[in-house]
Structure 1
Amino acid sequence: MKVLVFQIGADRYALRLAAIARVLPVAALKAIALAPPFVAGLLDLHGEPVPVIDLSRLAGVIPEQIWFDTRIVLADYPLPGGAMARVGLLAEHVIGVDTVNDADLRESGVAGAPFLGQVASTAHGLLQLVEVDQLLAPEVCALLFPQALA
């Protein structure tokens, strides 16, 4: 399977390419009042407000700064009832595209972080999948997509 590889600190993570709609350079975001700290803000995508999740903060790491290789990855997030909503994922140090063999994937054993999926041992070390469809708790989903859940 093809994946987009990025780093949080020294650790390598990946998003399945099949889950990605577009990759954008970092842009200015509008803050969302009372949102959890891992919600970076709203992206104005051609007039459509798209919530952006900071993957570093979601993983419990405070990002140092925005780097030249930081990107906003656009993905479709599945909502209850089968609807889809666009979400942005702020990914630090995007490295590029790589291939992971399904046979190399192993359970990570990470409790309490359902968005962190399987791991694979690669030539560059361990790589952990981030599962887009498991990123948000129901209360965060309700905050970011109230119109879709009404």
Structure 2
Amino acid sequence: MQETDKKTATPSAVAKAGGEPAQSAGEQHQYLTFTLGDDMFALGILAIREIIEYGQVTEVPMTPPFIRGVINLRGAVVPVVDLAVRFGRQSREITRRTCIVIVEVLSAKGRQEMGVVVDAVSEVLEIPEGDIEPAPEFGSRIRIDFIQGMGKVAGKFVVILDVNRVLSAEEVSIAASLGAMELPAAA
């Protein structure tokens, strides 16, 4: 697996993914894969805006435990969600490979950028629609409604997440209110 440069990485496949998602069974779909603990997950590349190094996250009081806080991304306040905690797990230790994946989700107010903390970004994979199975009815360590499908890659399964369900309307609403915060003036 290749490691994506985390400083302010935009994988080349992310940059090239500006077209419409593939529609027919014979076409490929691109997914950014990442790890949380020992598990491999994927998000559709069209929802990914960029990947940044884990840096200064400012905690915000009275938010749900899975919201780590906010970051300043080129002058915009972007809420950051800890996916491990969102999935009901313990928060993971921050390492040099920990990064924040900036995703775009749909909200009542339109599109909202949010950051999700992951242990490490792996690579961009193309998974044909025919190699994606429906979400299992049992046996998953995360909520079934968070799973868009199970992609078969090299004889193993990758959990493909539905970003709009993982970051549901309630969370997006909280995040949108955080994103509407004004940044303090520079001293």
TM-score range, shorter chain: 0.7 to 0.9
Match of 1:85 in 2: 112
Q: Residue 100 of structure 1: which of 100, 122, 127 is its match?
A: 127
Greater mean alpha carbon deviation, residues 106-115 or residues 38-47: 106-115
Instruction: Note the aligned Cα RMSD (angstroms).
Output: 2.2
Length, aligned pairs only: 148
Match of 1:42 in 2: 70
Task: Provide the identity percentage.
Answer: 22
Structure 1 residues 31-82: Cα deviation after superposition (integer angstroms, max 9, x where no partner): 111111111110111221100111111122213311222211111111125x
Match of 1:123 in 2: 154
> What is the distance in 1 between the residues matched to 2:168 and 2:122?
28
Contact 2:83 2:117 in 1 (8 A): yes
Computing the radius of gyration over CA atoms, which structure comes out larger, 1 or 2? Answer: 2
Matched, 1:69 2:100: no
Code of the residue aligned with 1:85 in structure 2: it is Q
TM-score, scaled relative to structure 2: 0.71
> What is the distance in 2 between the residues matched to 1:148 and 1:36?
15
Give the deviation of 1:116 after TM superposition: 2.2
Matched, 1:134 2:162: no
SS in 2 for 1:100: strand
Code of the residue aligned with 1:142 in structure 2: it is S
Contact 2:82 2:116 in 1 (8 A): yes
Match of 1:33 in 2: 61
Contact 2:135 2:144 in 1 (8 A): no
The verdict on how the C-alpha distance between 1:145 and 1:13 changes in structure 2, with shifts beyond 3 A counting, is: same
> What is the distance in 2 between the residues matched to 1:141 and 1:10?
27
> What is the distance in 1 between the residues matched to 2:144 and 2:177?
24
> What is the distance in 2 between the residues matched to 1:148 and 1:95?
28
Code of the residue aligned with 1:84 in structure 2: it is R
Q: Any unmatched runs of 5+ in structure 1?
A: none
SS in 2 for 1:14: strand
Matched, 1:7 2:38: no
Greater mean alpha carbon deviation, residues 133-142 or residues 67-76: 133-142
> What is the distance in 2 between the residues matched to 1:52 and 1:148?
10
TM-score, scaled relative to structure 1: 0.87
Code of the residue aligned with 1:75 in structure 2: it is V
Code of the residue aligned with 2:153 in structure 1: it is T
The verdict on how the C-alpha distance between 1:46 and 1:145 changes in structure 2, with shifts beyond 3 A counting, is: same
Structure with the largest fraction of strand: 1
Match of 1:60 in 2: 88
Greater mean alpha carbon deviation, residues 90-99 or residues 24-33: 90-99
> What is the distance in 1 between the residues matched to 2:60 and 2:87?
20
